[in-house]
Amino acid sequence: MTAKILVRYGEIALKGKNRGQFEQQLLRNLKAAVSYYGGKVERMHGRFMVTGPGQNSDKLIDNLSRVFGVVSVSPVRESALDLEEIKMLASEMAGSIPAGRNSFKIETRRSNKKFPYKSPEISELLGAHLLRLNPALTVNLKQPDFKLSVEIGFSKAYLYLDRVAGPGGLPVGISGRSLLLLSGGIDSPVAGWLAMKRGLFMEALHFHSFPFTSRRSQEKAADLCRRLALYSSKIPLHMISVTAIQKEINANCPEDLAIILLRRMMYRLAEKLSSIRELQALVTGESLGQVASQTLESINVIGQATEMLVLRPLVGLDKREIIDIAVKIDSYETSILPYEDCCTIFQPKSPVTKPKAEIIENHEKSLDIKGLLNEAFESLETTIIKRD
């Protein structure tokens, strides 16, 4: 049997040209989300219809419900544009509802104004038909046990019972290209997800200190990337070693400034990579007030190492809210695995919380910044993480 899935999209505020771009990008992303499972996508007056092999129905629905821009999806049944046939399908579908769920509502949307009955009439006729067939049923328009929706299209009618929520937002790619600084923690995957939700295509960059950090911590970053890739067709993941940089900082600079100096080097490496990959903004999981490196002074001094736009989507969220999203996008369990991060291994006992730019810049004079950046860049490894 063929699976048919109706896809609804949103962003009510979109008009004119923006709406056209939104729809085109969404169409591309929907195609990418279903092609692996043999799905095809068609436009259908303000909706999309996906058709694919019946045995892949759950996979198709799962992938579609993670495409940003999608508000909801419904598996639908199809009937000819004929009231008697629609009635038959409606009773068959109502018959599949488990016993005990007796109150119902019918909702009709008629895109095809040539169909000889108006929407409220169709709902009434179908409702009366179901009541006649099964006297246990009752109509309840406010809080029905089940809702049967009918869409009168131009060549077919579509009926459905379920609605799976999508993530909303804007289709990935429509807002530009960005680079996520992805650690192994809870915050950065959530920051990346929020940035993708606003239409940014994402590449990710993870810094490691192999052999001081284990291969497992790199695999953890790749695992997190895999979670995010479920919301995008692919995420190129870059890895750079900062071992030599950390050694130089530790040999030449005060311990309490080590994290700030390392972060500034990370931003410089991210900028260099962005110019090669044509990425327009950095995205980080920084938020205010959690740790020493996240005071306003620290964020500012770290940010001054780059001229790039730095987006920090978590700045308005509480830890609880961040964790809720991490659980929802299934990154939390991976994030809390106890593999060390490069920032934790040379962690100073008491990092400076209000760094001064001049002092930091002075210490940087004792480092061969350009040489260190070039050396670190030679360790660059890239893998493309795909959704399927």
Cβ atoms within 10 A of the Cβ of 150, count? 22
Residue 6 vs 343, nearer CB to Mg ion: 343
Select from 39, 69, 169, 185 the one that contacts Mg ion (CB under 5 A): 185
Longest Cα separation, the chain = 87
Residue 128 vs 288, nearer CB to Mg ion: 288
CB of 173 to ligand ATP, least distance (A): 21
Residue 183 vs 246, nearer CB to Mg ion: 183
**Could you tell me if 331 and 228 are in contact, meaning their C-beta atoms sit under 8 angstroms apart?**
yes
Residue 4 vs 264, nearer CB to ligand ATP: 264
Q: Which residue is nearest to ligand ATP (CB)?
A: 185
Does 189 bind Mg ion (CB under 5 A)? Our answer is: no
**Binding segment (CB under 6 A) for ligand ATP, from list 35-43, 66-74, 121-129, 281-289:** 281-289
Select from 76, 257, 343, 372 the one that contacts ligand ATP (CB under 6 A): 343
From the list Mg ion, ligand ATP, none, partner contacted by residue 342 (C-beta under 5 to 8 A by kind): ligand ATP
Contacts to ligand ATP from residues 91-150, by CB under 6 A:
none
Residue 149 vs 218, nearer CB to ligand ATP: 218
CB of 223 to ligand ATP, least distance (A): 14
**Binding segment (CB under 5 A) for Mg ion, from list 136-144, 168-176, 177-185, 206-214:** 177-185
From the list Mg ion, ligand ATP, none, partner contacted by residue 290 (C-beta under 5 to 8 A by kind): ligand ATP
Contacts to ligand ATP from residues 294-333, by CB under 6 A:
294
From the list ligand ATP, Mg ion, none, partner contacted by residue 313 (C-beta under 5 to 8 A by kind): none
Residue 128 vs 336, nearer CB to ligand ATP: 336
3-class secondary structure for the chain? CEEEEEEEECCCCCCHHHHHHHHHHHHHHHHHHHHHHCCEEEEECCEEEEEEEHHHHHHHHHHHCCCCCEEEEEECEEECCCHHHHHHHHHHHHHCCCCCCCEEEEEEEECCCCCCCCHHHHHHHHHHHHHHHCCCCEECCCCCCEEEEEEECCCCEEEECCCEECCCCECCCCCEEEEEECCCCCHHHHHHHHHHHECEEEEEEEEECCCCCCHHHHHHHHHHHHHHHCCCCEEEEEEEECHHHHHHHHHHCCHHHHHHHHHHHHHHHHHHHHHHHCCCEEECCCCCCCCHHHCHHHHHHHHCCCCCEEECCCCCCCHHHHHHHHHHCCCHHHHCCCCCCHHHHCCCCCCCCCCCHHHHHHHHCCCCHHHHHHHHHCCCEEEEEECC
Select from 9, 37, 68, 207 the one that contacts ligand ATP (CB under 6 A): 207
Contacts to ligand ATP from residues 166-205, by CB under 6 A:
181-183, 185-188, 205
Q: Which amino acid is at 161?
A: L
For residue 286 the two structure tokens come to 């920084």
Select from 214, 290, 353, 379 the one that contacts ligand ATP (CB under 6 A): 290
CB of 348 to Mg ion, least distance (A): 15
Contacts to Mg ion from residues 248-307, by CB under 5 A:
none
For residue 194 the two structure tokens come to 């929020």
Can you give the binding site for ligand ATP, defined by CB under 6 A? Answer: 181-183, 185-188, 205-207, 284-286, 290-291, 293-294, 341-343
Can you give the binding site for Mg ion, defined by CB under 5 A? Answer: 183, 185
